Amino acid sequence: MTVDFATAADPFRRELLAHCYRMLGSLHDAEDLVQETYLRAWKAYGQFEGRSSIRTWLYRIATNVCLTALDGRTRRPLPFGLGTQAATESDPLTQDHDVPWLEPFPTDPAAIVAERESTRLAFVAALQHLPPRQRAVLILRDVLKLSAAETADELEMTVAAVNSALQRAHAQLKDLSEDEVVEPAAAKPLLDRWVKAFEAKDIPAIIDMVARDVVWEMPPYPQFYRGPDMVAWHLANQCPAVPHGARMVATEANGQPAFGLYLRDGAGVFRPFNLQALEVRDGRITRVSSFFDLSLFPRFGLPSTA
């Protein structure tokens, strides 16, 4: 008996969303492309002969949908990846909405370690520097663990071309930092201190938790700050929060701890301000990526007020 399409295909929707996100660097685009993948697969399901697994077949469709979508597009960076110098006190803070910024990804707390590793912001940001087909090869080989022959079949390439593309991709990513993927539960004491300090706007306490080479970035602002002194200056002079005028609601982004940051308005209501994703190494915050796209809040299961 033939299994109906929804029963056969629906279990893979979540992992296909992560796959499209790695390829595109955009949660919004990934959601659209997963829908496109399922529409194409549903239309073609009658011709599916079962020569491969339904999962492999869906990945083939999704990868090709992503490659088509990437045709002619520029990469999605984070401010730290633009190749510019860190901002100083004399640099004005301005937004740039013309840049297609990298977006965060809502991690399922139950996700396996491999998925959490492969959706790290640093990893996905590094993928954006690769040409689309190299990007696909690296994801299929290193993340999904397909063989060179299977990858070649998926992408209609030769095995030699796959191996060459993978070698070039590895060379490009060789300097990718290996910040540990920290389970929020394991980092709870640090995160509890972070929330308490941030809600009180206790800048010395915040700075006491960051690494010496900490990076603080805030897309769509192309400026970023590096080092505890500049982060402290930014918080003191540019962050609009006042002591006890902020609330933090915990979530997860890209396999790492994250918070929805809410600021109190004139009516005393705490409203969304930004989504703050953290990277942690050796018990310290190494990177803070604050995303000012408020449409992300419902996608991360965050409330409209706190």
Tokens of 257: 């701890």
Q: Report the CATH number that the domain containing residue 294 is assigned in CATH.
A: 3.10.450.50
Q: How do the pLDDT tens digits run along the chain, 306 residues long?
A: 467 999 999 999 999 999 999 999 999 999 999 999 999 999 999 888 878 899 999 999 999 999 999 998 888 999 998 889 999 999 999 999 999 999 999 987 766 667 778 899 989 999 999 999 999 999 999 999 999 999 999 999 999 999 999 999 999 887 665 555 666 677 899 999 999 999 999 999 999 999 999 999 999 999 999 999 999 999 999 999 999 999 999 999 998 999 999 999 999 999 999 999 999 988 999 999 999 999 999 999 999 999
Task: List, in order, residues 6 or more apart from 183 with CB less than 8 Å away.
Answer: none
Give start and end residues of each alpha helix (H) in 186-259. 188-200, 203-207, 228-237
Backbone conformation region of residue 270, classed left if phi is above 0, alpha if psi is from -120 to 50, else beta: beta
Q: Which residues on neighbouring strands pair with residue 262, listed in sequence order?
A: 247, 272
Query: What is the reported pLDDT for 182?
Result: 67
Tokens of 251: 């979530």
Tokens of 44: 């073609």
Query: What is the reported pLDDT for 181?
Result: 62
* Residue 9 and residue 152 in one domain: yes
* Residue 270 and residue 231 in one domain: yes
Query: What is the reported pLDDT for 1?
Result: 42
DSSP H or E run through 28: helix 27-44
Residue 253 lies in a domain: yes
C-alpha closest to that of 295 among 90, 103, 162, 42:
103
CA atoms 16, 293, 173, 228: torsion sign: negative
* Residue 228 and residue 271 in one domain: yes
* Residue 148 and residue 9 in one domain: yes
Query: What is the reported pLDDT for 173?
Result: 86
* Residue 31 and residue 155 in one domain: yes
Residue 271 lies in a domain: yes
* Residue 293 and residue 224 in one domain: yes
Tokens of 229: 């002194």
User: Phi and psi for 103 in degrees, rounded to 5?
Assistant: -110, 155
Question: Whose structure tokens read 């962050």?
Answer: 239
* Residue 10 and residue 138 in one domain: yes
* Residue 126 and residue 47 in one domain: yes
Residue 210 lies in a domain: yes
* Residue 161 and residue 240 in one domain: no
Task: Report the alpha-carbon distance of residue 181 to residue 30 in Å, rounded.
Answer: 23
Backbone conformation region of residue 141, classed left if phi is above 0, alpha if psi is from -120 to 50, else beta: alpha
Q: Which domain holds residue 53?
A: 5-84+111-172
